[in-house]
Amino acid sequence: MPEIASADWDGFIDLPRELEEDLIEIGRTLPAWSVEGAFLADSTIERYRVKLDSAPLFDEVRGPLLDMLSGAAGGYAVVRLRNIAQALGIGDQFLHLATAILAEVAIPFQPFQRWPLWKEIGTNLDANPGLSTGTGYNAFHMDLVNATQPPDYTTLLCVRPDPLGAGASILSDARAAVSRLSPSSRALLADMAYSYGSFFNLSDVGEEYRPFPVLDGEPADLGFVRFTAKMLIESGLDEAHAHAAKELADQMVAGQVSFTLQRGDMLIVNQHRWVHGREPLGGGQHNIAPEDRRLLLQLFLRDTGATGPIAS
């Protein structure tokens, strides 16, 4: 069995060396993917699955990974592919393998029409510090909060960590945070009172949802805790609804976990259960060459078992 840490490191999967060696060889032979619309093609998924099934120990990873992501106490996982990244580099071979592993969780797709399947999240010193490409604190949020059907999972693959050792990923169990609120706050969060962001050039995420409720009353495998801390500033909320959202934000911070992704680490977050963000990057980013600054790749997943792809 793969070594799956517990206690403070629950959520991390370290692969056995034998499996790493098999996956390195598989990564060298996997074909390029094809897409159908925004989604990874069924033919690609089947070809990738056959290759993964040829690794005897992969089944022992698949089950625990799915349990971590969708079990009653789960919601995120970090698959440590560091040694594989060292052997293959983080180029096409590695991305084919990472995509194959993710296709065992749900269907990879890219809702942003202007970007490829894997979207770069680099470090831009001119960006708003609170954005994903900025250098400051990126507060808790779910991705595409203002879509009627957000991605079920968001994935972040570390190409380069912050050379200054900062920029830890932060996560929080959104449903646990909600459970600690008063009934009156939960009632306010169920109102169609919140809004955030723009909506354009998107595929297969439904329609724009504006305004939206933070709590939609759906079961955890179907509904979302529609939260982004940025809506506290941009929604034009009245005092009561703003206070309820601020209470939820505080509970998320109180229950957060954090860790710093290293090269080859792949974080998968179940958006029905958890929210994510980032601590500030290290000071002095202007002294780091652009090609050496923190770089992640992002890919989204659609769980057809829960909702199914929406036609464009």
Whole-number pLDDT of residue 6: 35
Is residue 306 predicted with pLDDT exceeding 80? no
All residues at 6 or more sequence positions from 197 whose CB lies less than 8 Å from its CB, including other chains: 145, 146, 228, 230, 234
DSSP string, 100-120: HHHTTTSEEE--BTTS-SSEE
Domain ranges (residues) in the chain? 3-302
Mean pLDDT of 34-63: 96
300 or 70, greater pLDDT: 300
Q: Give the three-state DSSP class for 243.
A: helix
Task: Please report how many Cα atoms fall inside a 13 Å half-sphere around the Cα of residue 183, on the Cβ side.
Answer: 0
CATH superfamily of 3-302: Clavaminate synthase-like (3.60.130.10)
Whole-number pLDDT of residue 135: 97
Mean pLDDT of 162-191: 98
Please name which of 209, 180, 181 lies closest in space to residue 193, comparing C-alpha atoms.
209
Mean pLDDT of 189-201: 93
pLDDT over 90 percentage in the chain: 88
Please tell me what DSSP assigns to residue 191: S
Is residue 312 predicted with pLDDT exceeding 90? no
- For residue range 246-266, list pLDDT tens digits in order: 999 999 999 999 999 999 999
Mean pLDDT of 265-291: 97
Mean pLDDT of 98-118: 96
Contact (CB, 8 A) for 262 and 161: yes
The total number of residues shown for the chain amounts to 312
Q: For residues 152 and 149, give the distance between their C-alpha atoms in angstroms, rounded to a whole number.
A: 8
Q: For residues 12 and 123, give the distance between their C-alpha atoms in angstroms, rounded to a whole number.
A: 25
Q: Biggest alpha carbon distance in the chain?
A: 58
